[in-house]
Structure 1
Amino acid sequence: MSADQQTEGQRIRCLVAKVGLDGHDRGAHVISRAFRDAGFEVIYSGLHRAPEEVVQAAVQEDVDVLGISILSGAHNTLVPQILDGLKEYGAFEDTLVIVGGIVPDDDKAELRDLGVAEIFGPGASMDEMIEYVREHAPDRER
């Protein structure tokens, strides 16, 4: 979505989701605020969401971007469940899925092969994440 489209009232709509038993949400709050300050519309899921809840929220809120924050080490189980759910609802092709948190290098390629667009680890630049979303969020009419 170009900056021109965003300023013409088509704000990028993002869901920042905490999935599973991961109770560390400081990063999710920080990125939610940075996305909001960048002009994105942000919905935060709250803690301890099941993959099905994340999928339902993404579909019901018609988000452009789903940011999954995960630090628990369960990314190889939970993220594929979310991707499968998006596919079941026909929402996968219209949703940019990014992951933030602790993902070992050995697991990144598999998550990307499943459909995760990008993975941002600790220390990733907020500006880099915002620019990535601006460049890769799907263009669509609301």
Structure 2
Amino acid sequence: MSTQEREERTVRCLIAKVGLDGHDRGAHVISRAFRDAGFEVVYSGLHRAPEEIVQAAVQEDVDVLGISILSGAHNTLVPKVIEGLEEYGAFDDTLILVGGIVPDEDREKLLEMGVAAVFGPGTPMSETVEFVREHAPDRR
């Protein structure tokens, strides 16, 4: 599928704050960038359990799940979200992104689990938007 065709369809995204992390500025920034790019965006709100994130992703039938995490609990919480998506049969149809503070040594583990990309602080919004346009699942 060409980039133009991908740009013409609406990509549905859930931006999620999982766990006790109370800092959501980055989640709001990426939500705005995705909306400005023409994506439909649902924001989970703060302090969501992995199960709540999975339920929201399934109920909203999202193409992209962006997990914003700054608390350092990514090695515990992201696998729980992935397991939940697998239980619902939604893992293969969902592009999973992680954004926030993730040490370099943990990035590879997340990618091996099925996270498509990890974006750290300072990543240009255009880079993240383009990644979604190129990699969001085609569900037509």
| TM-score band w.r.t. shorter chain | over 0.9
| Ranges in structure 1 where 5+ consecutive residues have no aligned partner | none
CA distance in 1, matches of 2:107, 2:134: 21
- Find the counterpart in structure 2 of residue 45 from structure 1: 44
CA distance in 1, matches of 2:7, 2:139: 11
- Find the counterpart in structure 2 of residue 3 from structure 1: 4
Structure 1 position 102 matched with structure 2 position 101: yes
Question: Could you report, residue by residue, the CA deviation over 1:57-78 in whole angstroms, capped at 9, with x for unpaired residues?
Answer: 0000000000000000000000
Identity of aligned residues (%): 74
- Kindly state the Cα deviation for residue 121 of structure 1 after the two structures are TM-superposed: 0.2
State the TM-score, normalized to the length of structure 1. 0.95
CA distance in 2, matches of 1:44, 1:50: 14
Contact 2:6/2:134 (<8 A) preserved: no
- Kindly state the Cα deviation for residue 5 of structure 1 after the two structures are TM-superposed: 4.4
Question: Could you report, residue by residue, the CA deviation over 1:74-130 in whole angstroms, capped at 9, with x for unpaired residues?
Answer: 000000000000000000000000000000001011111000000000100100000
| Ranges in structure 2 where 5+ consecutive residues have no aligned partner | none
Contact 1:11/1:41 (<8 A) preserved: yes
